[in-house]
């Protein structure tokens, strides 16, 4: 079974403290869904049209598990906690076996 990954890129973060509630709720939802954070707040070297702001990479044992974790009630509550005007590029991708 191919693994699943959440990939989030944040073009700009003007108020990091505004993410506190989201981060707490999202962390609980990710762990409950079987996810493991592989990268968060780490260094970024951007090339081409890349963005050097925060990149988050979360691994799940399967693609369907990653989708289910996103659709879970716990993660949907986390999404409500995102501040107004907040922008990110979020994808769920399937890994290679």
Rounded average pLDDT over 28-39: 97
pLDDT band at 15 (very low <50, low <70, confident <90, very high): confident
Rounded average pLDDT over 15-40: 93
- Say yes or no: domain 4-94 is CATH 3.30.70.100: yes
Q: What's CA 58's distance to the chain center, in Å?
A: 6
pLDDT band at 16 (very low <50, low <70, confident <90, very high): confident
22: Cβ contacts below 8 Å, ≥ 6 apart: 78, 79, 81, 82, 83
> Is it the case that residue 67 has pLDDT exceeding 80?
yes
For the chain, domain boundaries:
4-94
The overall longest dimension of the chain from CA atoms, in Å, is 39
pLDDT band at 34 (very low <50, low <70, confident <90, very high): very high
């Amino acid at each position: 079974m191919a693994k699943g990954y959440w990939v989030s890129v944040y073009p700009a973060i003007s108020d990091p403290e505004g993410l506190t509630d989201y981060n707490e709720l999202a962390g609980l939802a990710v762990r409950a869904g079987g996810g493991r954070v592989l990268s968060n707040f780490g260094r970024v070297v951007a090339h081409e049209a890349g963005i050097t702001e925060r990149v988050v990479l979360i691994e799940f044992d399967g693609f369907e598990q990653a989708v289910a974790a996103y659709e879970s009630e716990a993660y949907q509550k986390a999404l409500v906690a995102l501040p107004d005007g907040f922008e990110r590029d979020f994808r769920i991708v399937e890994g290679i076996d």
